[in-house]
Amino acid sequence: MLAFNWEALWQAWAAVAATALIGVTGLLVWVGYQAAQWAKLRFGQTEEMEARRRAPLVALSLAAPDNPQRYSPALNEGQLDSFVKWWGVVVGRKLNEYVTPNSIVACWAQNIGEGPALRIRVPYVLQVIDVIEGGVETKDEPARGEFEIVNVDSKWLVMAKTYLNVSYYPKCRIELLLAEAKVTRLDRTEVQDAVSDTSVPVLEVNNKASWDLVRQARTGGPDWMAGRRA
């Protein structure tokens, strides 16, 4: 009768157990890796969403202040040449007595996000248009400049530090270049996609109509060019 080889049996069981242990260990490692990747993706997205939620989101608009006498209009950088030119034109046409010298346009920023904005820089294009008799319009060379708005906390509405004085323009069009606007948070990092699509980026001002009304009321003249044609 042959003797049973217990040593070979134990060696076989040991090999099977080792193989099973390696398989289970590998499975646990794979499951742990997948769980870690899922957690990284899940919580990474959560952190990103939270950061976006707490970032500033601004809606920009152009408007004239309700009470411009409260402000001291300053010539915005980029406006000086056109302003001086048209001031001279208006004086030369003897229209300056009909002009309201504090007619200004301001850029406003409303922060509809949850995080404060340290600084908002908004480039603009100013197009001055001359309106002569018969309604003929001639466009001046466009002028570029930039509005700067600082310290806009969440839910606040703040006006830019500088304004556009449009008093001496017969007609003009101001357009904010929203694609070039830059918004920085308190840590001075720039926030991407921080301009809301609810913005009002264009404003047109027509002063000639009001000048004509004032002139007609004072002189009875039908057109401010009438005196120059005589």
What's the CA gap between 135 and 132, in Å, rounded?
6
Angular region, 135: left φ>0, alpha ψ -120 to 50, beta rest: left
* Pick from 166, 175, 22, 167: nearest CA to 101: 167
Adjacent-strand bridge partners of 176:
124
Q: How far is CA 116 from CA 59, 122, 159, in A?
A: 13, 17, 15
Look at residue 230 in the predicted model and tell me its pLDDT: 37
What's the CA gap between 90 and 73, in Å, rounded?
19
Return mean pLDDT, the chain.
78
pTM of the model: 0.69
> Helix (H, G, I), strand (E, B), or coil: what is residue 210?
helix
What's the CA gap between 18 and 209, in Å, rounded?
95
Is-contact 212 218, C-beta < 8 A? no
* Distance in angstroms between the alpha carbons of the first and the last residue of the chain: 142
Adjacent-strand bridge partners of 158:
109
* pLDDT tens digits for range 90-141: 898 888 888 888 788 889 999 999 999 999 999 999 999 998 766 788 898 8
Sign of CA dihedral 173, 121, 77, 73: positive
* pLDDT tens digits for range 37-52: 665 666 555 555 555 5
What's the one-letter identity of residue 36?
A: A
- pLDDT band at 21; cut points 50, 70, 90: low
Q: Give 195's contacts (C-beta < 8 A, 6+ positions apart).
A: 57, 58, 59, 60, 178, 181, 183
What's the CA gap between 1 and 198, in Å, rounded?
96
Look at residue 56 in the predicted model and tell me its pLDDT: 92
- Inform me whether the pLDDT recorded for 73 exceeds 90: no
Find where tokens 């500088």 sit: 162
- Inform me whether the pLDDT recorded for 173 exceeds 70: yes
